[in-house]
Every structure is written in structure tokens, then in C-alpha cells.
Amino acid sequence: MKSIDELGDLTGKRALIRCDFNVPLDGDAITDDGRIRAALPTLTKLRDAGARVVIMAHLGRPKGEVNPKYSLAPVAKRLGELLGTDVALAGDVVGESAESTVAALADGQVALLENVRYEPAEESKDEAERKALAEKYARFGDIFVSDGFGVVHRKQASVYDVAKLLPSAAGYLVAKEVEVLRRLTETPERPFVVVLGGAKVADKLSVIDNLLGVADTLVIGGGMAYTFLKSQGKEVGESLLDESNVETCARYLEQAGAAGKTIVLPVDARVADSMDFGARTVTEVTVVDIDNIPADQQALDIGPATEALFAETIKGAKTVFWNGPMGVFEIDELSRGTAAVAKALTETDGLTVVGGGDSAAAVRVLGHSDDEFGHISTGGGASLEFLEGKELPGIAVLEEEK
């Protein structure tokens, strides 16, 4: 991939850049601006080089329709505060407002187009439709910079098709993400421990399949752990269970053993009768041994003995990748397992990578700063697909000879 440092003199050139500004909102208030902050090094580089910066980004899932709920107005305001300059927000994506906003830019100034997902062709499966939209995007740039790692696994007009039309380069964020993930999959310092959590085992099967050949130890927590435990013949009560993948989990356990690898599972759990996620409440929580989950209760977080086991495993590693919480961390009583894993990563003498998504949100909710970890990915889905061994269209297109 070409770096933005290889683009030559950018003075007066229009730099069309794809960022990932899909940030969480509470009304109009951004509750986590991590993705915006992650783009600052590239945006600052372009501004300092005298480029006229035109940003493409999305927010939420407006599904090809204009919806004020998904306007990038809060993003433009916050980005302006972080950059210390006005960020002009176009009133549309490729219409008259976008054209006039881009035309008005002076060297070093920044404009943000409205939500690209307002355009039906942005996510179209029809290549001709996407290309036609990409051609409209390309009118706004002399070069294209890809810096939205959270979307590089999507073949979308603002990610993939426009990169075919303009001289293209990876921004600092995308380049760093690829560098770190390649290090994990190709040259990890050992022991290499992968910590996986989250609700659904099906979401992580391909990752497990690929990483069993690379990692030394897999630590499995969260709701997905109970399908593994069921495969060992344990009763899991009302806990999350994917019956269709019980045999698959049993096979992974056998494969790991045969290859001299270790899969570490919970030994105790925090259980309750029920919870109300929307209200962030849970009925009385108790800790039980993993062999004694009551038939009428569900495991909602790992227990203290598992916290200690997982932490010991993590702190003994030289490389750690973590994706997925250990429990329903948004509810205080069920956040302890995730907090223990996050703390263990901060105490590890080696490369620690937090794989985006809920894990990245969790470490910030729990009060950790980004610099306590080796790297926090901005793309949960993209990082997982990379670790699955899949080709990411938004990366592959940057590597093509033009």
C-alpha cells in the first residue's frame, strides 16, 4: 500500500478521505469520540501539507434515505473542536451543497460531506450503481486517502470503488491497523494468547478456526463460552446456547488438544434469574461453580475464580488479542469479568491489542485510557475478518497496481 507520505506535494490538492465516524450518540451528544480522535493524525498531516480536505463518512444505518437522526452534524462540530478549526458540513452527499462546499475550500481547510449512506448506491451490490456514485465522489478529489478501517471489509462506493478512480493511499490509521494485525497473524511474539468473548459463538467460529493454527492459547468467555461448556457435557441453565454449534465447539477442543494448544474456559459464573438490558438492571446476582448453574438461571458474567484464571493466562503472554466482553458489561454488577480482563491487559509485558467494537467501548467505559494498551482497533468487524484470513476489499484495492 502507498502511504500518504508518498503522495508528493499536496499543496492546493483536494484530498478526498474516507473516515469512520460511526460514533455512539445520546441525542446529539457523542458519548465516545475515539474514532474521531483516531483520524486526527492523518487529517492534520493533510492540512499541514496544504491540502483541501474533503471527508466522507457514515453514521448508523439510514438505508439509503435522508434521515436527520443520522446527520453528521454532531461529528462536524466535535471534529472542529479537536482540530481547532471550522469544519464545513455539506447539506448533502454529492448534490449542489456538496459541490459548493468543496469549491469554497482554501488550502488547509476541511469539509465533511453528509452521511454517505444517505445515497442508496453506497452499499449497493450492483457494481455499476456503486461505480456511478464513486464517479461523483471522485469529482471532489485529486487524490483518495483511505483511513476508515472500520469499513475496509465492505465493498462500498466510498471505500472500494472510488479508490479505483483516483491516485490512492492508506492513511496513518489504516496503515497502523494493518501493520498490527499482520504482526498478530504472521510474526507474533510468543506466548500468543487470544481472548474471545461476546454473545454469539457463531460470530467467532471462523476466527477460532484460523487462530487455532497461530495462537498458543485461546481464552473463551462471554455468552459464547456456554456452547463450549455444553460441548463438554455441562448443563448451562438458561444461559446463551447455540445448539447448532455444540459439535463444532467439541471439535475445536479436540483439535486444540491434538495440536498442543490450550482453550481456557470459565470455571465459575455470575448468574441471575433475569435482567433488563434497556433499564440496565438485573435481579439478584450470585456466583456459582460452572458445574452448578441452576436450571432456571442464566450466566451473565464470568466469576471471580475465572477472572483470576484468565488474568494469569493473559499476564503470562507476550502478545494478546482481545475481542468481546466477558459479560453484560453495561450493567455494573455484570462488568467485573470484563474489567478484570481489561486490567490484565494493562499489566501485560507485551503487545496488547483490543479488537474494536464492544471491547474498545468497554475499556473506555471502565475508565482506561487508550495509551494503556498497545493498540485499540477502530474496526471490530474488520479486525475479526482480517484474523479470519479473509481478503478485505478496502485494503486489497489499495494494493492494486494502478
- Give catalytic residues, as residue numbers: 35, 200, 357, 381
Strands 298-302 and 268-272 come out as: antiparallel
Q: Consult the annotation and say whether 21 binds a ligand.
A: yes
Q: Consult the annotation and say whether 330 binds a ligand.
A: yes
What CA–CA distance (Å, rounded) separates 181 from 159? 19
C-alpha cell at 263: 482453550
Q: Dihedral sign, CA of 28, 29, 30, 32?
A: negative
Would you put residue 62 in left (φ > 0), alpha (ψ -120 to 50) or beta? alpha
Q: Consult the annotation and say whether 358 binds a ligand.
A: yes
The H or E element that residue 121 is part of is: none
Q: Consult the annotation and say whether 58 binds a ligand.
A: yes
C-alpha cell at 1: 500500500
Would you put residue 126 in left (φ > 0), alpha (ψ -120 to 50) or beta? beta
CB 402: neighbour CB atoms within 10 A? 11
Q: Consult the annotation and say whether 35 binds a ligand.
A: yes
| 205 in Cβ contact with 248 (< 8 Å) | yes
Q: Consult the annotation and say whether 210 binds a ligand.
A: no
Residue 154: alpha-carbon gap to chain centroid: 13
Q: Consult the annotation and say whether 59 binds a ligand.
A: yes
Instruction: Name the one residue in this structure whose C-alpha cell is 459464547.
Output: 224
Burial 106-124 (b: 16+ CB within 10 A, else e): eebbbbbbbbbbbbebbbb
Q: Consult the annotation and say whether 375 binds a ligand.
A: no
Q: Consult the annotation and say whether 204 binds a ligand.
A: yes
The residues, ordered by sequence, that sit 6+ positions from 258 with a Cβ below 8 Å of its Cβ are: none
- Check residue 3 and report its DSSP letter: B
Q: Consult the annotation and say whether 379 binds a ligand.
A: no
What CA–CA distance (Å, rounded) separates 225 from 204? 11
What CA–CA distance (Å, rounded) separates 398 from 155? 13
Rounded to 5°, the CA angle 264-268-272 comes to 130
Q: Consult the annotation and say whether 389 binds a ligand.
A: no
The H or E element that residue 208 is part of is: helix 205-211
Known binding residues for ATP are 204, 330, 356-359
Residues at the binding site are 20-22, 35, 58-61, 117, 154, 204, 330, 356-359
State the binding site for substrate: 20-22, 35, 58-61, 117, 154
